[in-house]
Amino acid sequence: MAAIKTEEKPKINEIYAQMEEMEHEQLVICYDKPTGLKAIIAIHNTVLGPSLGGTRMWHYTNEADAIKDVLRLSRGMTFKASISGLNIGGGKAVLIGDPSLKTEAYLRRFGRFIESLGGRYITAEDMNTQTADMEYIAMETKHVTGLPESKGGGGDPSPVTAYGTYLGMKAAAKKAYGSDSLKGKRILIQGAGQVGKHLAEHLSKEDAILMVADINANRVAKVAASTGAKVVSAASIQDIPMDIFAPCAMGGQLNDQTIPVLTCDIVAGAANNQLDNEQVHARMLMEHGILYAPDFLINAGGLINVYQEYQGNYKKSLAIEKAEKIYDTCLAVFDLATSEGISPHEAALQKALKRIKDIGQLKMSW
């Protein structure tokens, strides 16, 4: 592996500055030479309960990017859990490197690091980690969820994430158009992955005019074939006329370049951290007359699913029932945003922070 240039190496004072700004509790750097494991676990907030969040594996170009990612993602998990009414905090882990590194020994070593945290962090799958990987991790720690259905787990959480995102999109349509019907709406899904494909199925059943874009030609072709969606170029989505944009790939898609040229009325998708800069771009969307369904609220279905499993006696119907609340929570967030003259993102944050503050005070009082 190429040595990291000095200027790309994260400095400890810069890491502390980021933790201070985002109010993190703990950052754990894990290394195992025999397996090549390089993992970073971030625990953002444990006021509501132990931190829970998936493990993402990615070819980060440098450690600073990996730290930035895990800090942002774990913070998002805190708000996602809080606004969804779950008694867990926010955490996340990243594995640095190629997914081909994921041997049994590699994953079990990672499981031991999780075990060493004594339950302060619970893991699950995320990008480039699957339910089968969780089985290896579970050999070393009980602080893991998202196990295969054949092992009594909840299996892949993506269908529940997609269902919640679909309901969040319907709530946004209700707010923007006065009806939550998506029939005839031109909806573009960016990312035909696990969530994107299930979202496309819901939308196709509702007779939306569906478009899908993905950098992976095979995936996008499969989704188009099964749902009747039109394939559009992943490189030029902003130029395409649409009513609703559903980012279901990478974060940071709502930024200075994209927002001014977006033609949609609504942004409602499953990707985490869609706003490149939360404050700036939530406001910019408002100024452009685009209704934004906060990502951490509408993509919470997967977290709801793995949380249900972690509590024991997993029942998919219970997870789905809980995910259905996303619709009403979205409407309440949109109403709060309107009455306070703030963005839906700020309104959702306000609600999430209030619950953490209230429960924190409750726990301190006895």
Residues annotated as catalytic are 92
Stretch that binds ligand NAD, among 135-143, 187-195, 320-328, 343-351 (CB under 6 A): 187-195
Stretch that binds ligand NAD, among 114-122, 175-183, 269-277, 324-332 (CB under 6 A): 269-277
CB 50, min distance to ligand NAD, A:
19
* Binding pattern for the stretch 285-324 against ligand NAD, x by CB under 6 A and - elsewhere: --------------x--x----------------------
* Cα dihedral value 199, 201, 207, 212, nearest 10: 60
Q: Which H helix or E strand runs over 227?
A: helix 217-227
Annotated binding residues for NAD(+), as ranges? 191-196
- Rounded-to-integer distance, Cα 47 and Cα 87, Å: 9
CB 2, min distance to ligand NAD, A:
24
Q: What is the per-residue DSSP string for 202-221?
A: HHHHTT-EEEEE-S-HHHHH
The single residue among 141, 190, 227, 329 that binds ligand NAD, judged by CB under 6 A, is: 190
CB 114, min distance to ligand NAD, A:
19
The single residue among 15, 134, 270, 323 that binds ligand NAD, judged by CB under 6 A, is: 270
Q: Partners of 291 in the beta sheet?
A: 266
The single residue among 77, 88, 107, 213 that binds ligand NAD, judged by CB under 6 A, is: 213
- Provide the strand spans (E) within the chain: 26-32, 37-45, 51-52, 55-58, 89-96, 121-122, 186-190, 209-213, 230-231, 244-247, 266-267, 291-292
> Does 51 interact with ligand NAD (rule: CB under 6 A)?
no
* Binding pattern for the stretch 225-254 against ligand NAD, x by CB under 6 A and - elsewhere: ---------x-------------xxxx---
- Rounded-to-integer distance, Cα 258 and Cα 126, Å: 26
- Rounded-to-integer distance, Cα 329 and Cα 296, Å: 12
> Does 215 interact with ligand NAD (rule: CB under 6 A)?
yes
> Does 336 interact with ligand NAD (rule: CB under 6 A)?
no
CB 12, min distance to ligand NAD, A:
28
Long-range CB contacts for residues 19-27, cutoff 8 Å, separation at least 24:
19/71, 22/71, 22/72, 22/75, 23/75, 24/71, 24/74, 24/75, 26/120, 27/67, 27/70, 27/71
> Does 257 interact with ligand NAD (rule: CB under 6 A)?
no
Site for ligand NAD in 145-184 (CB under 6 A): 157-158, 161
154 with 147: CB under 8 angstroms?
Answer: yes
Residues at the interface with ligand NAD (CB under 6 A)? 127, 157-158, 161, 190-196, 213-216, 219, 234, 248-251, 270-272, 299, 302
